[in-house]
Amino acid sequence: MKGGFSVQLIHRDSPNSPFYNPTETPFQQLHKAFQRSFHRVNHFYPKSKASQETPQSVISSNQGEYLVKYSIGTPPFEVIGIADTGSDLVWSQCKPCDQCYNQKSPLFDPSKSSTYKPVSCYSRVCGLVGETSCHSDSDSSCEYTISYGDGSHSEGTLAFDTLTLDSTTGSAIGFLKIPIGCGVNNAGTFDSQGSGIVGLGGGVVSLITQIGPSIDFKFSYCLVPMSESKTTSKLNFGKNAVVAGPGTVSTPIITGSVETFYYLRLEGMSVGTKRIELLDDSTISNVTDGNIIIDSGTTLTLLPQSFYSKLESAVASRIILERVNSTNEILSLCYKSTPNSVIEVPPVTAHFTGADVVLNSLNTFVSVSEEVSCFAFAPIATGSIFGNIAQINHLVGYDFVKKTVHGEYLMKYSIGTPPFEVMGIADTGSDLVWLQCKPCEKCYNQTDPLFDPSKSSTYQPIYCHSKVRESLSQNGEASCHSGTDPNCEYSIAYGDGSYSNGTLAFETLTLSSTTGSSVAFPKIPIGCGVNNGGKFDPKGSGIVGLGKGSISLITKIGPSIDFKFSYCLLPNFESKTTSKLNFGKNAVVAGPGTVSTPIKHDPVDTFYVLKLEGISVGSKRIELVDDSTSNDDNGNIIIDTGTTLTFLPAKFYAKLESEVAAQIKLERVHNPEHILTLCYKSPPKKVIVAPPITAHFTGADVVLNPLNTFVSVSHDVICFAFAPVETNSIFGNMAQMNYLIGYDLVKKTVSFKPIDCTKM
C-alpha cells in the first residue's frame, strides 16, 4: 500500500446507518446515546459506578456510536461492524451459529472463504486475546470469549482471514492474515442491523496494531455533527492520517493498566479565562499517569464528581439564560432554548499535557428536546472519558511510532553457499531464524541487498510432511496452501504487531568468531520471508531466534556447543566496542561472584522463565507474592534480550517505585516521553546516586547498580528503567548490562557474573 487511505465512519443514528430508526426523534436517539455512555463506563472501569442519580435501565448496546463497513474472507463478504477505540478484537457473527442474536443481514460463512484459517492453540496469537481455551485434543483451534461492560458477550473461534477496507477513493485495500473472531455464541444489546465489533484499540490484536506496519502506525478521524445527514465521518490511515498545520496540538498517549485504551493526561479545564485544576489520585509518585480515556464510542464526556461540580458551576455562572430541568434526567445543567438556536456559552478549554483543546458550544451543549439544551458533560464516581461530542469537528490523530521505546541487540551471520552476510536482531524471546528474501512480495524497506535463495547451492525448501513443520506450528503458523505446492509456508506474528510470512527451508548458517575464524552449521531451519512488516529497522534483516524452542538456533546447534551460550551486554553509550555472544566452552560462566538460578518450566517452550522471589532496595526487601507461590516449579518472569525495560506486576511495581523514590533525594520531574513514571532532574555527569537494587531470583541474588536501573531519557531527565505491566513480567536488557549471563540448557540454569563487558 502506497500512501494512505480513508474509509467512512457512519454514526449509528445517521440516516445513512442501517441502525437508523425513522420512528425515533433525534432527541430519543440522544437519550439512548446518553444511557449507553454510562454503561460504557463499566467497560473501561469495571469496578466503578456511574453517578447514583443516573438511570441504570439500558436497552441499547454500549459498544459504540460509529459504524464502519469492511469485508472479510476470499471472496470478500461485506460486514457492518461497530468501530470501537475501546476494544481490540475484530469479530463478526458466523455460520453455523449456535446462539446468535438476531441479525438481518446474512452471516459470514467461513467455509466459503479460501483464506480463512483457524488459529492454533499453540500459536502465540491465541494467548493475546482475552480469555481463550482449547476444548479437546482433537480440536486444536483457539476458542475465545469476550465480555463487555453491559453484559454483552461473544464466543467463538479465533482465526486468520483477509480483511478488506473500501477506501473513500473507490479502491479496496486488503490486509492478509488478520486475527478475527468468528462468533457463534453472541448475545447482549447488539443491534440486528450490524454484525459484531471492529476493534480499533491499542492492544496487540487490534486492527490498528495488525495493519500498523502498512499505515505507519497512524490513524485519525473527523467526526461530523450528528445533525449532518448529507455526509459521513472519515476514518483515515497512514499518510492520510497525518494531523499537522496551524492550530494542531499534540498530547502523549500514556501507557495505562489496560493496553487497549487510549489514556491521556487531563490537567484541568478552563471556562473562559477561569481555570479549574484537576486534582486526582495522581500524586507526585505518578505524575505521568493517564487519567482520562479518549473514546469514539462514548457520547458524553464523563468526569470525576468533585471536578465536574466545579466545572458545572463555572459554566452556569457565565450563561444568562433560563435554567430548566432536563427531560432525560441524565444531564443536570440545562437551559430553555428554541429549535436550531445556538446557546451563547464561553469557550471551554480542555488542558491536556502539552495540548489545549478549545471546545465550542457544538462540543459542550446538545439539544435534548425542541426547547431544552444541556451541558454534554456528566459526573462519574471514578475514571474519566473524553467522549465523541467533545471531539466533533476536530481532526483527531493517533501516532503510535512516537510513543514507542526500542532496545535490541544485533548480530552478524551468513546464510547460504556461498555465504551471504546478514544483520539480524538477536532475540532470546523467539525461535525461528528468518530474513528477507528475493523475490519479495511485500518487504519492509531494507538498506542492504536481500538474500536470493536461488543463488545458494545449499538452500532446500522444507516439505509439508517434515517434522520441522510440526515444531514450527507450536511457535507460529505453518501451512500448505495447495497440493501442487509441497513447500511449507510459515507465518509469525510478534507482540508489537510486526510479522513475517514466507517459506520454511534448510540452509547453511555461518557464524564469524571474534578470533577471525568462521563456523558453519548445515541444515539449519530458516524462514525466507517474502511478506514482512512492522517496527523493523531498514539496516537489519529479520530475527535470529535464540529461544529454547525446538527450531531455535540454540537448539539446532546445541550438540556442537554443549547446549551452552552466554552474552555480555555493553551499556548503550559504549561505542568503541561491541557486546559478545559466546558459545560452547567460551560460554561457561564461573568464578567469584557467579550466581545461578534454575530455568523454570513454561507452557511456551520458547521463553527462558525464571522465578523472581522479591526485590530489595538497599536493605528493604519487597516480596513478590503472586499466583506462582503455590507451585515452586512455576516461573514468573521472562529474561529477554529484546526488551529494554524491566516489567513487573503493577501492584509490586508500585511498592518498588515508592521505596526507590523514598531513598533518592533529588528533584522529581515529569518524563518528557510519558512512558516511565519515576524521573529526576539529571545530576552532574548524569550519574545518579541511587541505592543498590537486588533482584532475588531462586538461589541467585543479582545486584543492580544505577547503570542497570536508571536511564537518561533527555539531556536533563533521568528515569527509573522499570515499568508496571498487567501480564507477564520481563527482566529486560538494561538490567542485564555489564553482567556475563550464561544459559546452560543441560543443567537448565541461567548464571550471572558481574563484569565490565568492555574488557571481555
The catalytic residues are 84, 295
Number of C-alpha atoms within 13 angstroms, CB side, residue 667? 8
* Cα angle: 516, vertex 517, 520; to 5 degrees: 140
Nearest Cα neighbor of 129 from 106, 147, 115 is: 147
Q: Do you find a cis peptide bond into 75, omega within 30 degrees of 0?
A: yes
Rounded Cα–Cα distance for residues 348 and 365 (Å) = 11
Amino acid code (one letter) for 403: K
Nearest Cα neighbor of 702 from 643, 646, 752 is: 752
Sheet holding 710-714, edge to edge: 679-681, 717-720, 710-714
Q: Are strands 646-649 and 722-725 parallel, antiparallel or unpaired?
A: parallel
C-alpha cell at 650: 503493577
C-alpha cell at 477: 503458523
Alpha-carbon distances, residue 569 vs 732, 748, 752 (angstroms): 11, 21, 12
Backbone angles phi, psi at 33, to 5 degrees: -65, -40
* Cα angle: 526, vertex 530, 531; to 5 degrees: 115
Burial category of 280 from C-beta neighbours within 10 Å (exposed 0-12, middle 13-18, buried 19 and up): middle
C-alpha cell at 656: 518498588
Rounded Cα–Cα distance for residues 305 and 311 (Å) = 10
- The answer to whether the beta carbons of residues 614 and 694 sit under 8 Å apart is no
C-alpha cell at 35: 444511557
Rounded Cα–Cα distance for residues 396 and 301 (Å) = 16
C-alpha cell at 210: 495488525
Q: Rg of the chain's alpha carbons, rounded to an integer?
A: 28
C-alpha cell at 185: 455464541
Rounded Cα–Cα distance for residues 219 and 240 (Å) = 8
Rounded Cα–Cα distance for residues 166 and 173 (Å) = 6
- The answer to whether the beta carbons of residues 84 and 194 sit under 8 Å apart is no
Q: Are strands 729-731 and 637-639 parallel, antiparallel or unpaired?
A: parallel
- The answer to whether the beta carbons of residues 300 and 328 sit under 8 Å apart is no
**Cross-strand bridge partners of residue 610:** 637
Rounded Cα–Cα distance for residues 760 and 754 (Å) = 12
Burial 31-50 (b: 16+ CB within 10 A, else e): bbbbbbbbbbbbbbbeeeeb
Rounded Cα–Cα distance for residues 157 and 183 (Å) = 7
DSSP 30-83: HHHHHHHHHHHHHHH-TT--B-TTS-----S--S-SEEEEEEETTTTEEEEEEE
Please report, for the chain, how many H helices and E strands are present, in that order. 9, 52
Rounded Cα–Cα distance for residues 301 and 391 (Å) = 10
Nearest Cα neighbor of 706 from 719, 725, 724 is: 719
- DSSP letter for 253, please: P
Sequence-ordered alpha helix ranges (H) in 211-367? 305-317, 361-364
- The answer to whether the beta carbons of residues 98 and 184 sit under 8 Å apart is yes
Q: Are strands 233-237 and 117-118 parallel, antiparallel or unpaired?
A: unpaired
C-alpha cell at 272: 473562559
